[in-house]
A and B are shown apart, each in its own frame.
Chain A
Amino acid sequence: MERVIAGFIADLRVSGIRVSPGESLDAVQALGLCGMSSRKATRQLLRLTLVKNVNDIPVFNEVFNRYFNRFQFIDPGSNLPELMDAAVTEMEGEFNYLNQQQGDDHDQQGPLLKLDSEINPEDLQELKSLTEIDPDDSDGNEIVVQMKGYRGKAKGPRPTRRYTQNPLTIELNKSNATQSGITFTPEEQIAMQDVVARMMLRLRKDMKRMQNNQHRGKLHVIRTIQKNYRHDMVPFQVALRRKRRQKPRLVVLCDVSFSVSHAARFMLLLLHTLHQQMLDVRSFIFNREVAEITEMLANMPLNDLMETIDTGDIIDLDENSSYGQVLLTFKKKYLENLRGRPAFIILGDARNNYGEANDWVLDEIREKSRYMLWLTPEERETWMRGDCLMEIYGSYCDKVEVVKTVEDLSLVVEDLLRDIYADHAHPIDKKRIIEAKAAEVYDSKDYYTRGTSGSTEFQFDPDARSHW
């Protein structure tokens, strides 16, 4: 029996469920305790001991069916006991019941993988066609972005500086090739959660320390006395006044017009994932109109939201994007109630379709925000071509970044969050962070700042900014 279970666990591991040796021992022990009375009970037992995450349960069910259905293809009449004896187990025929699928609600799909002999030529044909997607996609790790007026199309965008090759982006690219609508597959969502989780892990250590330091303050006399009552008022433990804990605030304006739709959808996905974790984000989408989607991002399943955006219920997608118009509307409707000096992120290609630029609005937004970041999917060379106003708009921003992959996006946002936290940090930490940042060798070819001296680019200081 142990061997069968070990084989099953090996299968689980192949399918991506992490099972530790301790858990396998548990499973065997549990089977010894309960015996194996029915297929359903056995599956429950194995699931209790081997699976430690809700998301893994469907995979487990699938592997369970696949693994224990193998025995079904052996002709049950003649050689079953021999085969079992010889190859599989010493427990003659005890697995018979595992093959029965009665009254078992999770098992309706039946065997999920056919045996090799059952695969017919058509299936193979299908498999072949699946592998033939994008044969020439050599540096295919970018989100493919349609660019109007971009003349060097044939060249294809260059691979990015950092993280040139990683499984996630390849994954994303694959789905881009096959999908037309804007919805996310579960894999994409999981991949994004993975990216965000990794980002959080990197950030967490720094943030914890900074958060602790946020609590440093003056001595809280009454609390200290209260706390040390049991020490006869000798202040062994000191209570300090806390500073207000602050969540970083973000305002995101996201272009959803066709020209940047792919980049936008990943921005939205990133926001959605971040939103649940740690941020105070207000999100807007725009094309010609602006609309706030903060509530929807928080409450709606993401795919539903994407569909709603796609059908044009929130804003009309058939219009051409007009940045000037959008900036004006934004100023009229929302700028007044932007509080707490948020960091401001705009995602878009700044292609204004030859409308009014209205770039003075950015100046006002700039005054209200602590930091302004523009993310564009286009390379620097195309910023002045055609109707692109990137150079003009960019001059108002603290930073303009070229973002092509999800990994890029997460790195940019991570940098931003670090900056925001550093801004809230205790003076001692702040100094240390700034020094650490200055020591970093920075490649400045990908971004553009208005600042004249190179040294001020990495640190931003809201106080200095206001008399700027």
Chain B
Amino acid sequence: MISEQGVKDLLNTSGYIADDAIATAVFLALHMEKPILIEGPPGVGKTGLAKALSAALDFPLVRLQCYEGIDEGKALYDWEYGKQLLYTQLLRTQLDTYLSVSADLREAVERLSAEESLFFSKNFLVQRPILRSFLSEKRSLLLIDEIDRSDDEFEALLLECLSDFQVSIPELGVIEAKRKPLTILTSNGTRMISDALRRRCLYLYIGYPELEREVAIVRKKFPEICETLARQMVEFLRKARELNLRKPPSVSETLDWAQVLSILTVTQLTPEVVANTVGVIAKHQTDLQKVTELAVQELS
């Protein structure tokens, strides 16, 4: 039984600085065996949380990247047609002798159909991410990434998996999870996710972090950046976020920038430094201009 503080510390060791809400959510998900649905702007560490958790808890990470048109054949399971065909070819002689005993055609068909289930057994089942994580011997971490990119139908398909941790295969029956995986769904909010899915999950919204936490994140990833520079960077980026940019700089941009600055061995932010490295934090032409102007205003 890990406590909330324990979760926080564990995540910390694998390089993810969590706030209370995140720690509580993970703690609850672990103990209530419920999926977490994480929403938030891009680049605040939604997928990062899943990766850090998998490393910290030593759960193997099973990742399912959603896209438009994803279906059960890609997410749950599929039949291995090639292998089935190959086996029938290879077993032809065996089949011949097996069937030659039968007196007439009717009996042969009956004999053969009695063995039908052989070809729709687990031997010919391809496990796709969700089934794989359900059947893994060790408790795994199932990451369903960017669920908002998939279609409504796929969402409906997930309902059974997420509430009961089971997969129904018509030929085989219901397969239940050996160990219920810790499940994390992420969404960028490009599409509204149905209430049915939301109801089955704990809901966690990760926004831009507070000043102190962001500084801590920078310091954690890039210890060579001194406290004052990290604070200066983060304060500047927080102002940039209020500029109403097309793509506001996120935590991932903060980290990229920190890396750039540490490579350039910068110790103090100046308008020139910002102007030279602005491409790391702003990703549109109009944004570039706004950020550079802000730098002149704030830093000179």
Which residues of the other chain, B, contact A22 by a CB distance below 8 angstroms?
A: 199
Q: B12-38: contact bitstring with A at CB < 8 Å (1 yes, 0 no)?
A: 000000001100110110011010010
Selected from B24, B85, B195, B246, the residue in CB contact (under 8 A) with A230 is: B85
For residue A230, which residue of chain B has the nearest CB?
Answer: B81
Selected from B24, B199, B244, the residue in CB contact (under 8 A) with A48 is: B24
When the two chains form their complex, are residues B82 and A230 in contact, meaning their CB atoms are under 8 A apart? yes
When the two chains form their complex, are residues A26 and B34 in contact, meaning their CB atoms are under 8 A apart? yes
Q: Is B258's CB within 8 Å of the partner chain A?
A: no
Q: Is A454's CB within 8 Å of the partner chain B?
A: no
A1-58 residues with Cβ-Cβ distance < 8 A to B are 18, 20, 22-23, 26, 29-30, 33-34, 40-41, 44-45, 47-49, 51-54, 57
Which residues of the other chain, B, contact A20 by a CB distance below 8 angstroms?
A: 199
Which residues of the other chain, B, contact A152 by a CB distance below 8 angstroms?
A: none
CA distance A304 to B243 in the complex (A): 13
CA distance A45 to B195 in the complex (A): 20
B interface size (C-beta, 8 A): 26
When the two chains form their complex, are residues A232 and B202 in contact, meaning their CB atoms are under 8 A apart? no
When the two chains form their complex, are residues B203 and A52 in contact, meaning their CB atoms are under 8 A apart? yes
Which residues of the other chain, B, contact A231 by a CB distance below 8 angstroms?
A: 81, 85
Q: B57-87: contact bitstring with A at CB < 8 Å (1 yes, 0 no)?
A: 0000000000000000000000001100100
When the two chains form their complex, are residues B203 and A44 in contact, meaning their CB atoms are under 8 A apart? no
A-B pairs with lowest CB-CB distance, top 3: A52-B198, A230-B81, A52-B203
When the two chains form their complex, are residues A33 and B31 in contact, meaning their CB atoms are under 8 A apart? yes
Q: Is B39's CB within 8 Å of the partner chain A?
A: yes
CA distance A230 to B24 in the complex (A): 48
B150-205 residues with Cβ-Cβ distance < 8 A to A are 189, 195, 198-199, 201-205
Chain B min CB distance to A5 (Å): 15
Which residues of the other chain, A, contact B199 by a CB distance below 8 angstroms?
A: 20, 22-23, 52
When the two chains form their complex, are residues B205 and A57 in contact, meaning their CB atoms are under 8 A apart? yes
When the two chains form their complex, are residues B28 and A30 in contact, meaning their CB atoms are under 8 A apart? yes
CA distance A34 to B28 in the complex (A): 8
Q: Decide yes or no: A49 and B28 within 8 Å by CB, A18-B195, A299-B246 being known contacts.
A: yes
Which residues of chain A have a CB within 8 Å of any CB of chain B? 18, 20, 22-23, 26, 29-30, 33-34, 40-41, 44-45, 47-49, 51-54, 57, 230-232, 299, 301, 304
Which residues of the other chain, B, contact A304 by a CB distance below 8 angstroms?
A: 244
Q: B79-118: contact bitstring with A at CB < 8 Å (1 yes, 0 no)?
A: 0011001000000000000000000000000000000000
When the two chains form their complex, are residues A52 and B201 in contact, meaning their CB atoms are under 8 A apart? yes
B218-271 residues with Cβ-Cβ distance < 8 A to A are 244, 246
Which residues of chain B have a CB within 8 Å of any CB of chain A? 4, 20-21, 24-25, 27-28, 31-32, 34, 37, 39, 81-82, 85, 189, 195, 198-199, 201-205, 244, 246
CA distance A52 to B39 in the complex (A): 10
CA distance A176 to B31 in the complex (A): 51
Chain B min CB distance to A445 (Å): 38
When the two chains form their complex, are residues A34 and B203 in contact, meaning their CB atoms are under 8 A apart? no
When the two chains form their complex, are residues A34 and B195 in contact, meaning their CB atoms are under 8 A apart? no
Selected from A26, A47, A52, A301, the residue in CB contact (under 8 A) with B195 is: A52
When the two chains form their complex, are residues A48 and B202 in contact, meaning their CB atoms are under 8 A apart? yes
Chain B min CB distance to A304 (Å): 8
Which residues of the other chain, A, contact B81 by a CB distance below 8 angstroms?
A: 230-231
When the two chains form their complex, are residues B4 and A34 in contact, meaning their CB atoms are under 8 A apart? yes
Q: Decide yes or no: A53 and B203 within 8 Å by CB, A26-B32, A33-B32, A232-B85 being known contacts.
A: yes
When the two chains form their complex, are residues B21 and A301 in contact, meaning their CB atoms are under 8 A apart? no
CA distance A66 to B140 in the complex (A): 41
Selected from A26, A44, A232, the residue in CB contact (under 8 A) with B24 is: A44
Selected from B20, B32, B37, B198, the residue in CB contact (under 8 A) with A44 is: B20
Which residues of the other chain, B, contact A23 by a CB distance below 8 angstroms?
A: 199
CA distance A384 to B199 in the complex (A): 57
